[in-house]
């Protein structure tokens, strides 16, 4: 096991932080929960299955862009240290790691999912014996300053590349996005760079099947959230009473994943001493997946203090990869 594992999350993170999110999100209307709770072991595995679905283009598109441009991106950024936020399986990241400048290069993977981190780090350590692999269990909404400011992630050495791939930036609300981008910017030194994967606005005819596939894997991913709530907070959701929904919100340019109660039901959270009522047909929003234009990204990154240094899309113009520098 030739990798370093650091846990920045408190022992009771998935109980205490989830508790707060349930108390904040399920008493509001509409009911909402942040998507980070999808990723228990089963959720991380279901996400990997999603990435292989014929309807789910983002992973394939991003991999194709990386394959065509990784050499230029890595040599252009001079990166000896790659830090990835929400790294998951780190599968596509291998395309970047294949271009690492030489022995002594470092890869730091950051994710909330310990199972995904450990599996990825173990596999990478085998494929790349000369690579220093660090796995950090952390919340990128809370621990950016700690992670990017740590000498272990090469602060002050220059030539760091922070990558945020997969379109996960779209899972954040606009306000959360601007906080995250400002946090990345604050953690970068001149000479460092930020590589961002972002999904682009396109026809709902392409978008909707990507979030409501024929095999029902995305539905299983969405419904697994109810098992997380049952297990972590002693809730008594009956998953058969809820249905997966994917809706294109054109005004806000985002897919919304929801869970819809098929009948009126009351759910008890034993650990919170809380009962939550769902009306018939009531929906709980479990994820937003925002889709971007080049202009919008440039504006948001500009506001965070970044200037553009590279822009690539797949041949069909579905997905973008972009490189940014602190200005």
Name the residues that contact ligand SAH, by CB under 6 A: 36, 39, 44, 47, 51, 59, 86-88, 92, 111-113, 116, 139-141, 165-166, 168
For 232, list phi and psi in degrees, rounded to 5.
-80, -35
User: For the stretch 236-268, what's the b/e string if a residue is b when 16 or more beta carbons lie within 10 angstroms of its beta carbon?
Assistant: ebeeebbbbbbbbeeeeebbbbbbebeeebebe
Closer residue to ligand AVI, CB minimum distance, 51 or 134: 51
Min CB(293)–ligand SAH separation in Å: 21
Closer residue to ligand AVI, CB minimum distance, 128 or 211: 211
Tell me the H-state helices in 188-277: 204-210, 217-233
- Strands 160-164, 306-313: pairing is unpaired
Contact code string over 22-61 relative to ligand AVI, x by CB under 6 A: ----------------------------x-------x---
Options 171, 224, 320, 322; binder of ligand AVI; rule CB under 6 A: 171
Which span sits near ligand AVI by CB under 6 A: 110-118, 162-170, 174-182, 185-193? 162-170
Binding at 39: pick from ligand AVI, ligand SAH, none (beta carbon under 5-8 Å per type): ligand SAH
User: For the stretch 44-53, what's the b/e string if a residue is b when 16 or more beta carbons lie within 10 angstroms of its beta carbon?
Assistant: bbbbbebbeb
Min CB(99)–ligand SAH separation in Å: 17
Binding at 37: pick from ligand SAH, ligand AVI, none (beta carbon under 5-8 Å per type): none
Burial of residue 113, with CB atoms counted within 10 A of its CB: 0-12 exposed, 13-18 middle, 19 or more buried: buried
Closer residue to ligand AVI, CB minimum distance, 192 or 199: 199
d(CA 77, CA 155): 15
Min CB(266)–ligand SAH separation in Å: 29
d(CA 57, CA 63): 10
Binding at 50: pick from ligand AVI, ligand SAH, none (beta carbon under 5-8 Å per type): ligand AVI
Which candidate, 242, 220, 260, places its Cα nearest to that of 43?
A: 220
Residues of the shown chain interacting with ligand AVI in the complex, contacts defined by CB under 6 A: 50, 58, 166-168, 170-171, 211, 218, 287, 289
């Amino acid at each position: 096991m030739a990798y370093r594992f650091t846990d920045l999350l408190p022992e009771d993170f998935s109980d205490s932080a989830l508790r707060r999110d349930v108390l904040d999100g399920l008493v509001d209307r509409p009911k909402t929960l942040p998507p980070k709770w999808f990723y228990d072991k089963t959720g991380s595995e279901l996400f990997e299955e999603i990435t292989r679905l014929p309807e789910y283009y983002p992973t394939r598109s991003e991999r194709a862009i990386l394959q065509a441009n990784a050499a230029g991106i890595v040599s252009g950024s001079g990166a000896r240290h790659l830090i990835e936020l929400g790294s998951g399986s780190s599968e596509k990241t291998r395309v970047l790691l294949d271009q690492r400048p030489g022995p002594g290069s470092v890869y730091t993977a950051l994710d909330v999912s310990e199972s995904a981190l450990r599996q990825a780090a173990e596999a990478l350590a085998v494929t790349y014996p000369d690579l220093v692999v660090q796995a950090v269990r952390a919340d990128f909404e809370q621990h950016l300053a700690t992670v990017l400011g740590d000498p272990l992630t090469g602060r002050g050495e220059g030539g760091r590349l922070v990558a945020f791939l997969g379109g996960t930036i779209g899972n954040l609300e606009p306000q959360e996005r601007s906080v995250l981008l400002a946090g990345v910017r604050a953690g970068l030194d001149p000479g460092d760079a930020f590589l961002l994967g972002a999904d682009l606005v396109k026809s709902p005819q392409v978008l909707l099947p990507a979030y409501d596939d024929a095999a029902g894997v995305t539905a299983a991913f969405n419904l697994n959230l109810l098992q997380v709530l049952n297990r972590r907070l002693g809730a008594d959701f009956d998953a058969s009473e809820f249905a997966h929904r994917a809706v294109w919100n054109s005004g806000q340019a985002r897919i919304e994943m929801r869970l819809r109660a098929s009948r009126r039901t009351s759910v008890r959270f034993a650990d919170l001493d809380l009962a939550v009522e769902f009306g018939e047909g009531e929906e709980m929003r479990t994820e937003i997946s925002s889709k971007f234009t080049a202009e919008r990204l440039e504006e948001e990154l500009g506001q965070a203090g970044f200037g553009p240094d590279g822009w690539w899309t797949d041949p069909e113009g579905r997905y973008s990869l972009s490189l940014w520098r602190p200005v």
